[in-house]
Amino acid sequence: MSIFNSILMIAIMYVIFDMLGLRRVAARGDFLLFVMSGVFMYRTHISALGAVSGADGPTSPMMLHAPMNPIISICGAALAALYNQTLSAVVILYVYSVVIRPISIEDPVGVLGIHMLAWASGIGIGMVLRSARPWQPDLASILTKVLMRINVIASGKMVLVNNMPPKLRAWFDWNPLFHVIDQGRGHVFLNYSPHFTSISYPIFFTLTFIVIGLMAEFFTRQYASASWNKRR
């Protein structure tokens, strides 16, 4: 299903770009690779976010099985999301390279690092939302869905940042995934160098949110109770 969903999103974006005549705004190189570079990092980010925010909490029945604990649950959910999305990307890129045309990635190691950063940033946001879920489960669930939907546009996977006007770019600068995808394309394409995004912003954003998430998780565990929902 991960592979199918990725292929479906790639196909939809390709058709939209083609119908609107926007293929010329892509980076010089393989247009479909431009589309895939954005889709893979977007899906990795939101998959990690959704998996971590929905991981088993301290009141889950699974926590009765020692030495199970919430951190193991978070790590398991995050690694499962990374495995699914990495496998999807590798399979699709391999089939595309063999069946349609060979692909050329300027800096594969750099692309892998950016892929991991997209995953880690999703973990950071997911941990903050997860720690808020026991206190406000409905609000946390809504925020998770809103962030995942907003990133369809706010991630910038459908645009080339260097070609965006400053006023429009200012609406996207807050989003770490926006920086991640643009920096990733700088490693994918030989003729593209990101000028308006930073690799340091998503790194510091991720570290900050992971620390906040761990602190909130520790605080929440002190008040965990099997009757938590009964108090609402």
Per the CB < 8 A criterion, the answer to whether 78 and 48 are in contact is: yes
Per-residue pLDDT at 223 exceeds 80: no
- Residue 59 is predicted with a pLDDT of 65
Q: What's the pTM?
A: 0.90
Per the CB < 8 A criterion, the answer to whether 155 and 175 are in contact is: yes
What confidence tier does 224 reach under pLDDT thresholds 50, 70, 90? low
Per-residue pLDDT at 116 exceeds 90: yes
Distances (CA, A) of 201 to 23, 178, 194: 29, 10, 14
- Residue 120 is predicted with a pLDDT of 95
Cβ neighbours of 87 (radius 10 Å): 12
- Residue 163 is predicted with a pLDDT of 83
For the chain, the structural domain boundaries read 2-222
